[in-house]
Amino acid sequence: MDFHFTEAEQAFRAEVRAFLDEHLPENDPPTETEIERWNHALGEKGWLGFHWPKEHGGYGGTLIEQFILKEECSARRAPPLGSDFMGLTWVGPSIIMHGTKEQQGEFLPELLAGDSVWCTGYSEPDIGSDLAGLQCRAVRDGDEYVVNGSKIWTTLAHKAKYIFLMVRTESDASKSKYKGITCLLTPMDLPGIEVRPIPALTGVHSFNQVFFNDVRVPVESRLGEEGQGWMVVVRALANERSGISEATEKRRHLDDLIELAQTTERKGRPALEDPSVRRSLAGFQAKISAMRLNGMRYLTKQLRGEPAGTETSVNKLLRGQLEHDMWNLSNGLLGSHAQAEGRWQLGSLGYHGTVIGGGTPNIQRNIIGERILGLPKD
């Protein structure tokens, strides 16, 4: 692995820093107006579709540049790169890879302009980890699919213009469950779609259950061929778990934790002077460094033209454990104040989401065991 950046890459880092000097919102967290301004500036710069190919309107940034951009943004506590995380991270790249010219012309410019919000329809009430077992059914009727069923935990469905919807199109149960799945790029305003909010523990409304009752989706909304949806999902999930930014995000969290240890007390002294607190913080730092090096290892593989593949599960798993340990320490530092404190309390109630979303720790362990270590199947 080569740890050095070329002159061009260092120049790009300077460009990112200059952009941040000029456009970084003053407030943390930023106001809505600041977020709008930030997204507009990113759009102008072409960085909303940073890794998308130029011929599809993207910036055509290299993987190393993307790594630098995310690292710098994270170090300066910048807001996310665009409000439509799902659209930009996996829906757009999936449409670039599998979409028709018409679909690319219809959806990609809107995504790059920040004019659409996408949600993702994978999970169902009885189907989460075993995604290939999904049951929401689409039956072909002339030039339309008639969709019936339900999706759950659908983040942002109440705001989304479209849903990246996975449905079952093969009714023959004797055939492989992986071969009967199809992806439909479905407008959320079609008759028969109902969105019901699911309140979260933190009081934030992001989850929903979405019901489909005889929803007629035009055949031209299908992404890829009928029955090819599993291939679309696998590639989209690799984008979701790409892992490069895991370490930089956790570095930010650690900085906050160190500040908390400086401002809270143990036995009348700053908690940061307590050896057990220092040991925990040093342990977190070591794990974050390991995650960063892992991220660079995947990056090196990708630069050699090999897919990032299953290794990204390692950082996803490490991050889950780290989240748990770091929030535990903050609750310990705050003691009984943890119940009343705003930001830390919200974080310690909400972190489970990032651990479960995109695949639970057990599922990552299965992937690592079976596909990286070559152990027998679960």
Ligand X SMILES: Cc1cc2nc3c(=O)[nH]c(=O)nc-3n(C[C@H](O)[C@H](O)[C@H](O)COP(=O)(O)OP(=O)(O)OC[C@H]3O[C@@H](n4cnc5c(N)ncnc54)[C@H](O)[C@@H]3O)c2cc1C
Which amino acids are annotated catalytic? 240
DSSP state of 81: S
Look at residues 48, 44, 78, 73 and name the one whose alpha carbon lies nearest to residue 60: 48
With CA atoms as reference, report the closest residue to 96 among 83, 109, 84, 85.
109
Q: How far is the CB of 131 from ligand X (least distance, A)?
A: 7
Give the whole-angstrom CA distance, residue 231 versus residue 236. 9
Nearest CA to 298 out of 253, 238, 248 is that of: 238
User: How far is the C-alpha of 370 from the C-alpha of 375, rounded, in Å?
Assistant: 5
Rounded CA-CA distance 87/43 in Å is 14
Stated length of the chain? 378
Nearer to ligand X, 260 or 363 (CB): 363
Q: What secondary structure does DSSP assign to 20-46, as a single string?
A: HHHH--SSSSPPHHHHHHHHHHHHHHT
* Bond prior to 53 in cis (omega within 30° of 0): no
Nearer to ligand X, 11 or 200 (CB): 200
Please report which helix (H) or strand (E) contains residue 107, including its range: helix 101-112
Nearer to ligand X, 151 or 287 (CB): 151
Q: What string of DSSP letters covers 174-217?
A: TS-GGGGEEEEEEETTSTTEEEEEE--TTS---EEEEEEEEEEE
Binding site for ligand X (CB under 6 A): 119-123, 128-129, 151, 153-155, 353, 356-357, 359-360, 362-363, 366, 378
* Residue closest to ligand X, measured at CB: 128
- Closer Cβ to ligand X, 122 or 230, answer by number: 122
Shortest spacing between CB 361 and ligand X, in angstroms? 6
Output the smallest distance, CB 21 to ligand X, in A.
Answer: 33
**Residue (154 or 182) nearer to ligand X, CB:** 154
Element (H, E) at 166: strand 162-168
Comparing CB distances to ligand X, the nearer of 117 and 271 is: 117
As a whole number of angstroms, the distance between CA 36 and CA 20 comes to 15
Residue 89 Cβ vs ligand X, minimum distance, rounded to whole Å: 12
Q: Min. distance of Cβ 67 from ligand X in angstroms?
A: 24
Q: Cβ of residue 360: shortest distance to ligand X, in angstroms?
A: 3
Q: Assess contact for 137 and 168: CB atoms under 8 A.
A: yes
Specify whether the CB–CB gap between 127 and 120 falls below 8 A: no
